[in-house]
Amino acid sequence: MNTTAAQSSPTGEAGPLSTARTGDIHLWTRTLIPTTREAPADATTPSHVYLVRAGFIRQLAAGVYDYLPLAWRSLRKIQEIVRQEHERIGAMEMLFPAMEPVSLLKQTGRDKAYGDDLFTLQDRHGRDIALAPTHEEPIVEMMKGAITSYKQLPLSLYQIQTKFRDEPRPRSGLLRCREFIMKDAYSFHLNQQGEGGLDVAYDHFYDAYTRIFTRCGLTFTAVEAESGPIGGSASHEFMVHAESGEDKVLVCPASGYAANVEKAEIGERAWSFDGEAAQELKKHHTPNMPGIEGVAQHLGTNAAGMLKTIVFERVLSDPSKTKYVLAVVRGDHDVNEGKVRDAVGSGVKLADEAQAKADGLAIGYVSPSAFAKLTGATIVVDPDAAQGGTAWATGADEMDHHVTGWHWGRDLGYEVERLKVADIRNAEAGDPSPRAVGSTLQVQRGIEVGHIFKLGTKYSDAMEFKVLAEDQKPRAVTMGCYGIGVSRTMAACVEMSHDENGIVWPAAVAPYHVEIILMKAEDEKQKKIASELAQKLAERGADVLIDDRNERPGPKFKDADLIGIPVRLTLGDKALDAGGVEFKLRKDTGKGEVVAFDSVIDRCISALETA
RNA sequence: CAGGGUGUAGCUCAGCUUGGUAGAGCACCUGCUUUGGGAGCAGGAUGUCGCAGGUUCGAAUCCUGUCACCCUGACCA
C-alpha cells in the first residue's frame, strides 16, 4: 500500500487556482492516536473522559489542553462550517493579535471588568500586556483608523483564534478552559434599525448560528440572556442540552419561552401586605450558624419561612453618598442583581460590608425593619416575600440574633406604604411562566456554545469611534458582537453524542468519515483492497482512517468504538469470502452486514449524507 | 476566594497508621504461539515516591513549608 499520510491532489499538480478538496486517507500507524483503556483519574465529565481516552486531547495545565491530530481535524471541520455560514451572511474573516496593550482595555474600563480573569504580562520595557479575552477594543481601534464614512457600513468581520481567560476554576475538560478556541465576530452599523442596521445583522447572525449548530448535529435552544461584562442591550445564548452543562435554562413548554437563569422572568404572583399578626415577635440567639438552613432549623422553621434581606448600594457618581437598596426575598430564593437594578432604575452593587456595618446595618442579620432606620434608602420586596399573612423568621438587626413572628404590617408599620414589590429573584422550576398563564417554567441544564449581543454604541462611545453620516455630522457607530466557543462546541458534540463504549460523532464534525479495519494488517490482499476502497471514498470526498495496526481484533474494535468514526468497514476473511466487506454504522448496535465491493462506496456516502 | 481531596512507573493504583532504601495490573520492548470484540507463555526495560527543608544511624512513610492538580460552591461572552 502506497498510501501516504499527507494526501493532497491525487490528479496532478495543484495550481494557484486549484484548491479542489478530496478526502484525506491516513494510516493509524502513521498518525498519533494514543487511546487509553482507563480514564484519567481527574476526568468526570463524559466529554472529558472520552476525548482523553480516545486520544483527542491531553492536559498541559489547569484549563490548558493539547489538541492532538484527531481533535484538530474535528476542530477544523467545525471551523469550516463556521466559515461557510459566516461567508453566507457576508462576514469577512481576518485575524487579530492574541496580545494587546492593557492601556487599550483601560479605555473601556474592561481591565477592571475582567479583573483577575485577565492574563497579563509585562514586556521588556515594563509595559503591561494582556492576552486577549475577546477583541472588542482591538477591532474598534483598528476600525477607527480604517473607516470614516457611513458609506463603508454596514460591515461584519470575524476571526477564529485562541482566547485567554484566567478562569477562577477551569473544569470539565474543554468545557471550561483558560485557553480556548473561539470565533468572534463584530458588526458595524450607522443605525440600530432599518436597512443595514444592527437589528438586521443580529438576525442574520442568529440564523447563521442556528445553521452552524444544526450542522454540527447539536440539539440546542437559543435563550434570552444577560449581557454580562460585554455589555449592550439584547443578547441570546445558544445552549446545547446536556446534563453536564454548567448553565441553567428556564423554558416554558407552552409558549416556547426560554431564558438563562439570570434573565428569566417570572409570571404574575399574588402578594399582599394585608393580614393580621398571628405570633409575638420573639428574639433568638443564633451565633455561628453559617447557612440559612441551619438558622431556620434552629428557629423551628425552614428556609421558605424566612426573609432574606440583601443590602445593595446604588452606584452613584459621588461614591461618598451611599444610598442603600434593601432587597428582600424568601430565604430559599436567590436575589437577582440584574432584576434589582431594573426594579430601582439605577446600577446597584453589593454594599461594602464595613461601611454598611458602620451605618448600623448588621450584615448577615438584617431584616426589612432596618429600612425604617435608614434615610434615603429604597426597599424592594419579591412577591413571594411580600406576604402579610405570614409570621416570618428573619434577622434581628443585631449581630448573632434572629427573630421569629416578624410581621410586615405590625413590625414595619406605616413603612409598608413605601414598599416596592417587584420580581427580583432568580426563576426556579415550577415558577409561573411569564408568557403563558397557567403554565410553569422547567429547568434544563445547558452548555453555552454561542452568545450574540447587540452592543449599541457602548464601545464606540468609550473609544470615540465615529463616522460621518449623510447629514455630515459625526455619529457613533452601532455595533454587535457574536461569539462561538469552537473548542467547547467540539466537547458539546461529545456530551450530546456518546454511549458506554465511546464517542458517536455526528458525521459533519467527525475527524474521519470512514474507518477501515484490517483484520490482518500484514495480509497483502487486505492491504490492497483497503487502499482501493480508501481511494474511491476519498474521491467522493470522504476522509478515511485505516487501522493498519498489527493488533488483535479486540483492541481494534474497542478503539473504533472509542474514537467514534461514523462508518466502519471491516476487512476480514469472513466478509471477503462472502464477496464484500463488513459495513457498520457507529450509532447502530449489533453486528454489521456484509456489503458487496461494487456497492459499498455508495452505501458509505449515502449513510454519511443522511447522518 | 471558601470548603474538601489527591500527588508513588506512560496510565489506574497499593505501600504510609507502626521509618529499614520500590510494588501490582494495564501499557511498553524481545522471542514463540495466537488472530472477528481489550489473547497466552517466557524473558526484559521503566521511578529525583511533586518540590524544599527538618527529625533520624536510616524517610515514600514522621514534622514544617511550598508547588501542582481535581471536586463543591462563589465567579464567569
Taking alpha carbons only, the member of A178, A61, A174 closest to residue A488 is A174
Which pLDDT does position A1 carry in this prediction? 42
Q: What is d(CA A416, CA A363) in angstroms, rounded to the nearest whole number?
A: 22
- Phi, psi torsion values for A449, nearest 5 degrees: -100, -20
Q: Is the CB of A573 under 7 A from strand B?
A: yes
Å separating the CA of residue A375 from the C1' of nucleotide B13: 64
Å separating the CA of residue A89 from the C1' of nucleotide B21: 70
Q: Is the CB of A167 under 7 A from strand B?
A: yes
Q: Is the CB of A61 under 7 A from strand B?
A: yes
Closest nucleotide (C1' vs CA) to A572 is B36
Closest nucleotide (C1' vs CA) to A578 is B36
Å separating the CA of residue A290 from the C1' of nucleotide B3: 13
Which pLDDT does position A17 carry in this prediction? 77
Q: Is the CB of A233 under 7 A from strand B?
A: no
What ipTM was predicted for this assembly?
Answer: 0.94
Q: What is d(CA A351, CA A373) in angstroms, rounded to the nearest whole number?
A: 17
Å separating the CA of residue A41 from the C1' of nucleotide B57: 39
Q: What is d(CA A556, CA A566) in angstroms, rounded to the nearest whole number?
A: 15
Strand B neighbours among A 128-157, CB < 7 A = 133-134
Q: Is the CB of A531 under 7 A from strand B?
A: no
Which runs of E-coded beta strand occur in A315-398? 324-330, 348-350, 378-381, 392-395
Burial class (CB in 10 A: 0-12, 13-18, 19+), A327: buried
Which pLDDT does position A591 carry in this prediction? 81
Q: What is d(CA A305, CA A431) in angstroms, rounded to the nearest whole number?
A: 18
What is the number of other CB atoms lying within 10 angstroms of the CB of residue A272? 12
Which pLDDT does position A14 carry in this prediction? 62
Å separating the CA of residue A351 from the C1' of nucleotide B64: 40
Å separating the CA of residue A327 from the C1' of nucleotide B8: 53
Name the residue closest to B1, CA to C1'.
Answer: A168
Å separating the CA of residue A41 from the C1' of nucleotide B62: 28
Å separating the CA of residue A523 from the C1' of nucleotide B73: 57
Which pLDDT does position A408 carry in this prediction? 92
Which pLDDT does position A344 carry in this prediction? 85
Task: Name the segment(s) of chain A with CATH classification 3.90.960.10.
Answer: 282-421
* Cell numbers at A378, concatenated: 429604597
Name the residue closest to B34, CA to C1'.
Answer: A552
Q: Is the CB of A449 under 7 A from strand B?
A: no
DSSP A352: P
CA-only gyration radius of chain A, Å:
30
Q: How far is CA A183 from the centre of its chain?
A: 13
On chain B, which bases lie within 7 A of the protein's CB atoms? 1-2, 6, 11-13, 25-27, 34-39, 68-77
Q: What is d(CA A199, CA A187) in angstroms, rounded to the nearest whole number?
A: 11
Nearest-10 crossing angle of helices A597-609, A524-539: 40
Q: Is the CB of A59 under 7 A from strand B?
A: yes
Was domain A282-421 assigned CATH 3.90.960.10?
Answer: yes
Written as one letter, the residue type at A565 is I
Which pLDDT does position A363 carry in this prediction? 83
C-alpha torsion A514→A520→A525→A529, nearest 10:
0
Q: Is the CB of A572 under 7 A from strand B?
A: yes
Which pLDDT does position A337 carry in this prediction? 84
Q: Average pLDDT across each block of 10 residues of chain A; the chain has 611 residues. List them in order.
A: 44 65 92 92 90 94 94 97 98 96 93 90 92 96 96 98 94 94 97 95 97 96 75 83 87 90 89 88 81 80 88 77 87 86 81 81 88 88 92 89 91 81 90 92 91 93 96 96 96 95 96 96 92 97 96 95 97 92 93 93 95 73
Q: How far is CA A8 from the centre of its chain?
A: 36
Written as one letter, the residue type at A548 is D
Contact (CB, 8 A) for A222 and A444: no
Closest nucleotide (C1' vs CA) to A557 is B37
Output the CA–CA distances (angstroms, integers) from residue A467 to A148, A411, A416, in the order listed. 5, 59, 52
Å separating the CA of residue A39 from the C1' of nucleotide B17: 30
Which pLDDT does position A3 carry in this prediction? 45
What is the number of other CB atoms lying within 10 angstroms of the CB of residue A433? 24
| CATH architecture classification, A39-97+134-264+444-495 | 2-Layer Sandwich (3.30)
Task: Name the segment(s) of chain A with CATH classification 3.30.930.10.
Answer: 39-97+134-264+444-495
Å separating the CA of residue A342 from the C1' of nucleotide B25: 61
Q: What is d(CA A271, CA A279) in angstroms, rounded to the nearest whole number?
A: 20
Q: Is the CB of A63 under 7 A from strand B?
A: yes
Task: Name the segment(s) of chain A with CATH classification 3.40.50.800.
Answer: 512-609
User: How does DSSP assign A185-247, residue by residue?
Assistant: EEEEES-SSSTTSHHHHHHHHHHHHHHHHHHTT--EEEEE---GGG--S-EEEEEEE-TT-SE
Give the three-state DSSP class for A43. Answer: coil
Q: What number does CATH give the domain A512-609?
A: 3.40.50.800
Which pLDDT does position A20 carry in this prediction? 66
Give the three-state DSSP class for A397. Answer: coil
Written as one letter, the residue type at A89 is I
* Cell numbers at A9, concatenated: 491532489
Q: Is the CB of A96 under 7 A from strand B?
A: no
Closest nucleotide (C1' vs CA) to A173 is B70
Å separating the CA of residue A43 from the C1' of nucleotide B61: 28
